[in-house]
Amino acid sequence: MVNNDMPKKYDTRNHDERIQALYIAFAECKASAYLSGMINDCSASKVLKEAKVDRSYLYTDKLSDKGIQQRYHAIAKSIKSWRDKFQQNKNSEFENTALAKSERDIKKITEERNNVQKQAAKYLTQVQGLKSQIDRMSEQHEKLVEQQTYLAQSIMTTVVPKQSATSFSKPIVISQDSHLYVNGQYRFHDVNLRERAWIICKDELQKALNRKVITRVYLLIGPPCSGKSTWSQEPDVYPDRHSIIIDACNLSRLDRFEWYRVIEASKADCKICAVYFDTPLSILFTRNNSRPSDKHIDDASIEEKYKSLEAISIVREVFIDEVKVIRYE
């Protein structure tokens, strides 16, 4: 048999030198096996290769000197004995090596990582489920708000009355328009004048609330030409003592809340009734065109205010006690 692992040149070492080389190679291979935990890092073939000794010395009886032959055979037996022992005690011997500790740490970290990933996947699924549930609840909430608002408007709708009723007292009408005249001329487009009119109106409301009587405040809501001023001048549409009418557009919820802040600060004993004017845009244009020239507003402004009108929300505008909707026949 030809050993391909043998060097090409002739081995000139004597038996003592070969045997010493085998023991050195055996020791080095054992060290490698301890570090790696791999039993095959210390095999007879690897020891022979490292020592550059032909395997026939370990496994045949070709030598005439039986003492030398036994020394070679002893090395083969030592390698086999060590491998058997290593295999039997692999765990106990390997667990004390640095590589073993590293592998244990890696295994532990890998297990922890896998557990965390599983837990994260579980939480992600839960979060996605909760998000879907929140989205569904939000949609249901919005639909409920719309239904409640529509129901409140439908139930509490008031058509402009055609018959008179007895009014207990003349209401106080607070109107921005009444403060937009300069030398008899209506100055709606004067921004500074409108700001001043707002301040005056809020002062008027404060004084009216200081009367210390049971009061109902009618908060009119609607774009220009929707019929607010006409409604406020009818003495029989609000049969309440000491009524206060805020005749302004109050298009946004924020606008309405600003009036509530004044009412709340006064600590007056009153209820707030929102009067919503549901008037078609075409009627707004028609009424605007019939206005005197000094009170005429361009159609673009009318349409802009019509589109910016925010419906009453009985959920968000909790300060509103009652709702009336005016639809003209």
Tell me the pLDDT tens digit for each residue of 98-107.
566 676 778 7
237-254 confidence digits (pLDDT tens) = 666 667 899 999 999 999
**Is pLDDT above 80 for 67?**
yes
Q: What is the phi/psi pair of residue 11, to 5°?
A: -80, 115
Q: Selecting from 3.40.50, 1.20.144, 3.10.450, 3.40.30, what CATH number does the domain 156-326 have?
A: 3.40.50
Tell me the pLDDT of the chain averaged across its residues: 81
- Mean pLDDT lowest among 17-26, 116-125, 129-138, 151-160: 151-160
Residue 33 pLDDT class (50, 70, 90 cuts)? confident
DSSP-derived pairing of the beta strands 215-221 and 244-247: parallel
- What amino acid is encoded at 315 in this protein? V
286-313 confidence digits (pLDDT tens) = 999 998 887 888 889 999 999 999 999 8
Q: Which residue has the higher pLDDT, 220 or 192?
A: 220
In sequence order, the 6+-apart residues with CB closer than 8 A to the CB of 228 are: 220, 222, 247, 248, 249, 275, 277
Q: What is the pLDDT of residue 239?
A: 63
Residue ranges covered by each domain of the chain: 15-96, 156-326
Residue closest to 222 by CA, chosen among 310, 321, 315: 310
pTM: 0.51
**Is pLDDT above 60 for 96?**
no
Question: In 10 A of CB 48, how many CB atoms?
Answer: 26
